[in-house]
Amino acid sequence: MHSFRKAVEARDAAAIEALLADNVEFTSPVAFKPYLGKAITAAILRGVMRVFEDFRYIKEIGAADSGDHALVFEATVAGKRITGCDFLHFDADGRIDEFMVMVRPLSGAQALAEAMAAQFEQIQAEAVAQIEREAATEERQAAGS
């Protein structure tokens, strides 16, 4: 079983975040432009964990030594059953640098869009707080050198 799958199934947000590259590009099934960076991607994934019910992966596609993997999932959002796929690309360091999600049917995608829109203020706040913490840590490290 893939390490990302294990982290998601364990609902381990810290382990999921640790698998993301700093420059990860996240392509949402309900947003036109991709989101760039670890902080916003991690915050979005935490939001998804809050809105998905009965989440489970049902299929894993990709050779163990490949940089590309697809994980097919099922979940419920606001009473709508969805099927989706996480398409992951791993960089040379084994971190996810491309993450694209697709879902169906349209009614499920619409329910997901509405649920995530309700989460987005919190998602943005979490991402900004993380960026500020990282900047403060870098400043302290630079001052100490």
- pLDDT tens by residue, 28-78: 998 889 999 999 999 999 999 999 999 999 999 988 788 899 999 999 999
Domain of residue 15 covers 3-138
96 falls within a domain: yes
144 falls within a domain: no
d(CA 64, CA 67): 8
143 falls within a domain: no
94 falls within a domain: yes
| Number of domains the chain is built from | 1
Residue 67 is which amino acid?
G
- Whichever domain contains 7, its CATH number is 3.10.450.50
**100 and 27 in contact (C-beta within 8 Å)?**
yes
* Cβ-count burial 99-112 (b if 16+ within 10 Å, e if not): bbbebeeeebbebb
145 falls within a domain: no
- 105 pLDDT more than 90: yes
- Its pTM stands at 0.89
8 falls within a domain: yes
